Amino acid sequence: MNRRGSLLLAVAAAALFAASNARAQEKLEIFSWWAGDEGPALKALIDLYSAQNPKVQVINSTVTGGSGVNARAVLKTRMLGGDPPDSFQVHAGQELIGTWVVANRMEDLSGLFKSEGWNQVFPPGLLGLLSARGGVWSVPVNIHRSNVMWYVPANLKKWGVTPPKTWDEFLVTCKTLQQKGVQHPLALGENWTTVHLWESVALGVLGPDDWAGLWSGKLKFTDPKAVAVWNTFGKVLACTNPDASGLSWQQATDRVLKGGAAFNVMGDWAAGYMTTTLKLKPGEGFGWAPSPGTSGVFMMLSDSFGLPKGAKHRDAAMKWLKLLGSKEGQDTFNPLKGSIAARLDSDLTKYNAYLQSAAKDWKSNKVVGSLAHGAVAPESFSSQFGTVMEIFTSGNNAQAAASAAQAIADQVGLGAATPAAPGRG
């Protein structure tokens, strides 16, 4: 064979080797909305997975957009189109149960929970949220708190105000701040953050029992107590920035940090952003308090991952789920994410001062579930709640918003899908 021939042969052999190698390499595609600023905690978990499973190539598919607003739509197309990722992020509770579990598209993970001993290490209330129809449907990686009000201690001192303890007190503080030149004391972001704010106002006005009553069907949205939520909400909205719809939740947080606003109500992923991305010290660079009127109540949500039927790399996905539920996995992910472990045996020394305080509240507070983040209502309800919000913001008509919410609740049979009390149990 001449030189050219042997060179061609070598090239062909190398190509063949590369192709068979690629075929032999196992893959894992995980799907979430933890992109950009939201990514570091997930990356730490993926790094841990890769160290444990060096042969698996992890494909980290993300669709940007806080609270999964865009990711859920992409996931829907993929699930319905028969192209599921191997594992995907979903809020524990009705968000998964009411969609892919009822559609029979998820694998039951009861066996995994049993073999990993998870029925003993996750709180019973959380297990209840993950369970339905005789199965357990996703692995929780964390507990986030929705009802937190963030601020900068030095700025509040400068303005001579303190974190308000009720929404009425907030409205007084709002006026005081406006007189001091802070035109829009409460920073607000894009649409879903309006629903996030609403749930804190509703919890503060109604209290935990009536809040839970909305989701069990015990309290109608048209009950005068529930209508009153919208009246307060309208006044609270008047304290927010008019450019809200153009801001991500991070940008709304930035506005508080830069002194353009005094407060922001956001879940504690904001703590993750402020500590992990911005390197601020809890208690110094930022402060926190339960959102007004919700002291002693922990509005929870949990990020979890499930296993869709037909996952192309099922074995790799099972290993991913095992890592997610493990103590090492949770204590790697959560200190960076701004959440606490879902497990009861996590090592709190790895967590910062904010997270230690959240862990304490999670143990001692009354626990309720979040609407904006999938715990208490199925997607058929929550995806239409934006319309209720539009009805309200277009005319400030509390009664109209309340009737619309009740009509949707009736349409989707809200009370019938009541989750077990979410919490620690």
Chain residues binding ligand GAL by CB under 6 A are 33-34, 38, 66-68, 91, 144, 249, 267, 269, 301, 303, 373
Question: Is the CB of 144 or the CB of 184 nearer to ligand GAL?
Answer: 144
CB of 180 to ligand GAL, least distance (A): 31
Question: Is the CB of 195 or the CB of 226 nearer to ligand GAL?
Answer: 195
What value, to the nearest 5°, has the Cα angle with vertex 81 and ends 75 and 87? 40
Cα–Cα distance for residue pair 407/392, rounded to 1 Å: 14
CB of 65 to ligand GAL, least distance (A): 7
CB of 187 to ligand GAL, least distance (A): 15
The answer to whether 226 and 214 are in contact (CB under 8 A) is yes
User: Which residue is at the shortest CB distance from ligand GAL?
Assistant: 66
Contacts of 180 by beta carbon, 8 Å cutoff, 6+ apart? 159, 160
Cα–Cα distance for residue pair 245/190, rounded to 1 Å: 4
CB of 142 to ligand GAL, least distance (A): 7
CB of 146 to ligand GAL, least distance (A): 9
Q: In degrees rounded to 5, what are phi and psi of residue 424?
A: -90, -30
CB of 342 to ligand GAL, least distance (A): 12
Question: Is the CB of 159 or the CB of 249 nearer to ligand GAL?
Answer: 249
CB of 238 to ligand GAL, least distance (A): 25
Question: Is the CB of 33 or the CB of 233 nearer to ligand GAL?
Answer: 33
Question: Is the CB of 164 or the CB of 338 nearer to ligand GAL?
Answer: 338
Question: Is the CB of 151 or the CB of 249 nearer to ligand GAL?
Answer: 249
Question: Is the CB of 131 or the CB of 253 nearer to ligand GAL?
Answer: 253
> How many Cα atoms within 13 Å fall on the side-chain side of residue 310?
11
The answer to whether 154 and 219 are in contact (CB under 8 A) is no
CB of 91 to ligand GAL, least distance (A): 6
Question: Is the CB of 40 or the CB of 285 nearer to ligand GAL?
Answer: 40
CB of 249 to ligand GAL, least distance (A): 6
Question: Is the CB of 196 or the CB of 313 nearer to ligand GAL?
Answer: 196
